[in-house]
Structure 1
Amino acid sequence: MWNPQTYLAFADQRGRPFFDLLARVGADEPRRVADLGCGPGNLTEQLASRWPQAALEAVDNSPEMVAAARERGIDARLGDIGAWTPRPGTDVVLSNAALQWIPGHPELMVRWAELLEPGAWIAVQVPGNFDAPSHVALRQLADQQPWSNILGDFAFRTADVVETPTRYAELLTDAGCRVDAWETTYIHELTGAQPVLNWITGTALTPVRDQLTDDQWQQFRAELIPLLDAAYPARPDGRTYFPFRRIFVVAQVGSPSPSASAR
């Protein structure tokens, strides 16, 4: 179960990639803008501010996140973004830090490109840190007894979750798009006790928490803390630096290429 308050604890730092992504979208007066995986709506508000004339569609699969977005005045709805289909007039499809939860999402992005009108924009950001020490430590602990019997399979159990920027660019170029793809590693300055644990509690640990009782959850966290402390030692001044790689793809739909038309 997603907790909007936990997720928003690092709202400023989590929001930086969103603004970097949005800055590369060149749509001037889109008719309809879709925010897929809108979360608590704090960033969806920025879309409404940039394109006030556009019809705004906000979708998330978490009832808690949808409720939080609605409290902000966002007309969000509960839905599976993996099954989402663009409505007529959709000129911008944006998904910030959500598609990593969906197996086969690269093919989903290609399908959007095939359904959208020429000139429409697709903008996606996904974390690229699934082989980072934080996730390695999570998987290491989950593979030990008794957790391996309790947890079984869960999201991010492997590091092979997202593609490289080059692969996304290739797929969408073949689908007839003009593509801008890149990656950035943000060095987040965190403070407080167990800051990396608190960060991943709001995201990567969510599917783990859902499978544990309250007592098991507290024990799992207690065993994870020394692994994270070793991987991300706090400086004497109390700061902890947390490198976080993210992958960005901005594509403008155009006339299908010959290879795409042949499919």
Structure 2
Amino acid sequence: MSAAATPTWDPAQYLRHAGHRARPFTDLLARVPDLPGERPRIADLGCGPGNVTALLAERWPTAHITGYDNSAEMLDQAHVQHEGPSAGGGRLGFAHADVRTWTPEEPYDLIVSNATLQWVPGHADRFAHWVQGLRPGGTFAFQVPGNFDAPSHRLMRDLARRHGLADTLRHRDAVLAPRDYLTGLTGLGCSADVWETTYVHLLSGEDPVLDWVKGTGLRPVLTALADDPEARDAFLDDYRDALRAAYPAGPHGTPFPFRRIFAVARKEA
């Protein structure tokens, strides 16, 4: 298994930009249609610290919701901060699972994934299993980053090669083009809505783009260098300088364009 597939996660670092990171999930949920069950069964694949999984309980307060993740650190945070009954009589819980192999063991009304599938090689091959696990009229919805050609990630790849860490990153085929997602989902008999959006986040603080990627895309590199602080600091110094040039601060903060790809697929009722 590659280092890119098993990064060590830091919930506190991830949540430093929680507001910006949650925005795409709320936009995704806005396009999810009504669910077939009165007490829906919902799975959140790659739930992380559970902060956006909790938004599912706000939208469907009678639902039985399970957030799945393979990071013990993230699940610990989710259990403490978000697990328990919801206002409408539903329940929010969390469990360990590997999205690469997870298969529904019962019918679901909604299977959703937020900024996770880019970590799963060949994730589109799993779609048939997940759609099969939906109730008639159920929905599979996800969003993934589409910014692997942005300066933040190009610079990350270039520096990883220079520092002998090229194998830690898997960017080239991390996600598909929107048209390919549309073709795959409609080929499974779903009606599909696929789109892309570029957010321009206005980040505050010193070196905010570096701070952002330290919570997500840079995790494989940080994991690989965890036992070599000197090499880690050398990498971060080079990367910091490059990001400052690529994303100069403005008078009100640092603009950070971030492209994302969305898909909502509804199984025929």
Q: Pick from 89, 98, 104 the counterpart of residue 116 of structure 2.
A: 98
The alpha-carbon distance between structure 1 residues 30 and 231, as it changes in their structure 2 partners (threshold 3 A), is farther
Aligned residue for 2:118, secondary structure, equals helix
What letter matches 2:68 in structure 1? Answer: V
TM-score between both structures, scaled by the size of structure 1? 0.91
The alpha-carbon distance between structure 1 residues 30 and 109, as it changes in their structure 2 partners (threshold 3 A), is farther
Give the equivalent residue in structure 2 for 1:62. 71
Aligned residue for 2:125, secondary structure, equals helix
Give the equivalent residue in structure 1 for 2:247. 232
In the alignment, structure 1 residue 253 sits paired with structure 2 residue 253: no
Q: Is the 8 A contact 2:69 2:98 kept in 1?
A: yes
Q: Distance in 2 between matches of 1:89 and 1:238?
A: 48
> 1:216: how far off?
1.8
Q: Pick from 190, 201, 204 the counterpart of residue 217 of structure 2.
A: 204
> 1:116: how far off?
2.3
Count of aligned positions:
249
Q: Is the 8 A contact 1:186 1:243 kept in 2?
A: yes
Q: Distance in 1 between matches of 2:268 and 2:100?
A: 23
Q: Is the 8 A contact 1:114 1:175 kept in 2?
A: no
Q: Distance in 2 between matches of 1:204 and 1:239?
A: 21
Aligned residue for 2:136, secondary structure, equals coil
Q: Is the 8 A contact 1:110 1:171 kept in 2?
A: no
Give the equivalent residue in structure 2 for 1:38. 47
* Equivalent runs, 1:74-85 vs 2, <5 Å: 74=83, 75-85=93-103
Runs of 4+ deviating beyond 6 Å: none
Cα deviation, 1:66-99, whole Å, max 9, x if unaligned, reads 0000011322112101111113231100000000
> 1:126: how far off?
0.2
The alpha-carbon distance between structure 1 residues 47 and 126, as it changes in their structure 2 partners (threshold 3 A), is same
> 1:30: how far off?
5.0
> 1:152: how far off?
4.5
Q: Pick from 116, 132, 143 the counterpart of residue 161 of structure 2.
A: 143
Give the equivalent residue in structure 2 for 1:261. none
Give the equivalent residue in structure 2 for 1:222. 237
Q: Distance in 1 between matches of 2:48 and 2:183?
A: 29
Aligned residue for 2:212, secondary structure, equals helix
What letter matches 2:238 in structure 1? Answer: E
Aligned residue for 1:72, secondary structure, equals helix
What letter matches 1:70 in structure 2? Answer: H
Q: Is the 8 A contact 1:125 1:248 kept in 2?
A: yes
Identity across aligned pairs (percent)? 47
Q: Pick from 166, 172, 175 the counterpart of residue 162 of structure 1.
A: 175
TM-score between both structures, scaled by the size of structure 2? 0.89
Q: Is the 8 A contact 2:111 2:134 kept in 1?
A: no
The alpha-carbon distance between structure 1 residues 82 and 161, as it changes in their structure 2 partners (threshold 3 A), is same
Q: Which runs of 5+ in 1 are unaligned?
A: 256-263
Aligned residue for 2:168, secondary structure, equals coil
What letter matches 2:259 in structure 1? Answer: R
Give the equivalent residue in structure 1 for 2:28. 21
> 1:245: how far off?
0.2
Q: Pick from 101, 125, 133 the counterpart of residue 143 of structure 2.
A: 125
Give the equivalent residue in structure 2 for 1:86. 104
Q: Is the 8 A contact 2:106 2:133 kept in 1?
A: no
Q: Which runs of 5+ in 2 are unaligned?
A: 1-7, 84-92
What letter matches 1:153 in structure 2? Answer: D
Cα RMSD between the aligned structures?
A: 1.4
Aligned residue for 1:26, secondary structure, equals coil
The alpha-carbon distance between structure 1 residues 30 and 17, as it changes in their structure 2 partners (threshold 3 A), is farther
